[in-house]
Amino acid sequence: MICDTKLIMSKKSDISLVNFFVFNPEFGPKEGEEHKKILFFHPPATDIDTKIKNVGLCEAITKFTGTFTDRPCQSLHTQKLRQLFYEPEPNYWVVLTVTVPYSTKTKDGQTYLEYHDEDVQDSVYEAVLHQCYKMFKSLEHFFSKYLITLKLGQSDMLDVFNGIHFLPLDKNMYLRIQCFINLLEATFPHILYTAFLYQDQLVWSGLEQEDMRVLYTYLTTNLFPAYMEQEFQGLKATSSSSSLTSLHSHYGKYILGPTNLADESSAGRIPRLYINKDQAVLECHLLVYKAHSASVCLVIDGNYGLMFDLFKRLDKFLGPQLSALASDIGDYYARKPQSSSESQFKYVYFNLMNLAQKTSIHTDSRKLAVTGVSPDVIKLISDLNEDLTSCHIQDGEMIIKTWNDCWVVCKKADQREVYIILNQKNANLIEINEEVKKLCASQFTNIFFMD
């Protein structure tokens, strides 16, 4: 804040993944058998000595903290690295290590590296670790790929919320979708659960909240982006696959499942999804079918042998109906007037009860683009969120002015939190308070906030 004039700072390095591993200290207790403790290690090319050393240090740290507290160890801060620990089941430790960003500074002619410890927020990366674990547990097959695609530098409070964007619809539209799903599940009794998404937003889900959370993360951060990419490439190359759709006169196709319904070998391996049911873990098949911007996720009983015939029958059922629904939702949204007050303020909203989240900071749920808000302000929101959580504040309000005159207002009431960012440099606290009151009255009418 008060900068030495002789101080020159370079751009900060990014936060990157060092390793991710799972170990159990109970395995291989004898000397020379330490490698047995390691259950999973990424990157896989790491030599065994490094692996053992890493696991050994974690074991020491967790035991050391264990002599003082019964609560499990959560993080280790060193100058250059941050290590996050998670013990989901007794003695099973999941560990994520990331780099602490640094910048090169020159002061009085001397160059040195300054590490920015506070840029790596424990709450955010702990959330990333928990997500990793859930991903590891639910969708093991694609886990290594998931680790590589993690954009750690962009992790923020949305990872902490790990919420879901819901699509608000009117009653008629909502009932039509509900009706469609009921019919689908009645026709195909082996479908255990169904989820309906429009673009990246959830419309309807029959899954447990926690399972939906994992599935939603997978769909929006991995499957959809990868599919879009593929689609984009494919469009440029040929239009051979479109012959299929024209044949059936609808736009539906599997994005997880057989790529070509005329070719039985194209089904490949249908991925497994592990979900919780009555406190037991259930192994299921996961299929995702898409038409226009609407997607349907089908969770099918794992004991049921998937016959190619099923894919065909599902396609016949889903294709025309989903295509019609998708274009109707599209029309509905085209008619709806867009709110125009976007530019004045940015906000993030999260409701813990139904995991609903909304943000105008991120232009899409993959967080590829963050608009007009500095990364420090986004980190500040995580700080505030951490304060709310760690102090167990049920209802509260915080108003903050940063060193570069940006205002952040945070309100929490009844498990709902909203963070509003206002870039009004010359306003004072009372004016900001009035402004926020007005905003809440116009934008968050259905939420009760204490004043």
**Which residues of this chain interact with another protein, rule CB under 8 A?**
1-2, 31, 34, 53, 56-57, 59-61, 63-81, 107, 110-119, 122, 376, 379-380, 383, 387, 390-391, 393-403, 405, 426, 428-431, 433
Other residues' Cβ atoms within 10 Å of the Cβ of residue 351: 19
Nearer to another protein, 205 or 385 (CB): 385
Q: How far is it, in rounded angstroms, from Cα 434 to Cα 431?
A: 5
Q: In what order do the strands lie in the sheet with 102-107?
A: 8-9, 102-107, 110-115
In terms of CB distance, is 97 or 205 closer to another protein?
Answer: 97
Instruction: Residue count of the chain, please give it.
Output: 451
Give the nearer residue to another protein in terms of CB position, either 29 or 168: 29
- Residue 151 CB burial class (10 angstroms; 0-12, 13-18, ≥19): middle
Quote the CA–CA distance of 321 and 324 in Å, as a whole number: 5
Closest to another protein by CB, 43 vs 268, is 43
* Alpha-carbon gap, residue 309 to 313, rounded angstroms: 6
Instruction: Decide whether 26 or 264 has the Cβ nearer to another protein.
Output: 26
Q: For residue 291, what are the contacts with CB-CB under 8 A and spacing of at least 6?
A: 250, 251, 252, 253, 318, 319, 322, 323, 325, 326
Residue 40 CB, nearest approach to another protein (Å) = 20
Tell me how far, at minimum, the Cβ of 130 lies from another protein, in Å: 15
Helix 308-335, helix 171-187: angle, nearest 10: 180
* Nearer Cβ to another protein (69/338): 69
- Would you say 393 and 402 are in contact if contact means Cβ atoms under 8 Å apart? no
Q: Which is nearer to another protein, 78 or 303 (CB)?
A: 78
Residue indicated by tokens 């004043």: 451
Q: How far apart are CA 287 and CA 258, in angstroms?
A: 9
CA distances from 176 to 169, 198, 316 (A): 11, 14, 19
Q: How far is the CB of 407 from another protein (least distance, A)?
A: 9
Residue 4 Cβ vs another protein, minimum distance, rounded to whole Å:
9
* Nearest approach, Cβ of residue 420 and another protein (Å): 14
Residue 39 C-beta: closest distance to another protein, Å: 18
Q: Shortest Cβ distance from residue 127 to another protein (Å)? A: 15
- Comparing CB distances to another protein, the nearer of 41 and 115 is 115
Nearest approach, Cβ of 360 to another protein (angstroms)? Answer: 21
Closer to another protein by CB, 307 or 393: give it: 393
- Please state the closest distance from residue 282 (CB atom) to another protein, in A: 32
Rounded distance between C-alpha atoms, residue 398 and residue 173, angstroms: 38
CA distance 316 to 320: 7
- In angstroms, the CA 72 to CA 90 distance is 10
Residue 137: φ, ψ to 5° = -80, -40
**CB of 54 vs another protein, minimal distance in Å:** 9
CB contact at 8 A, 396 and 417:
no
* Nearer to another protein (CB atom), residue 58 or residue 326: 58
Token digits for 180?
């469609």
Give the residue from 390, 441, 397 showing the smallest Cα distance to 417.
397
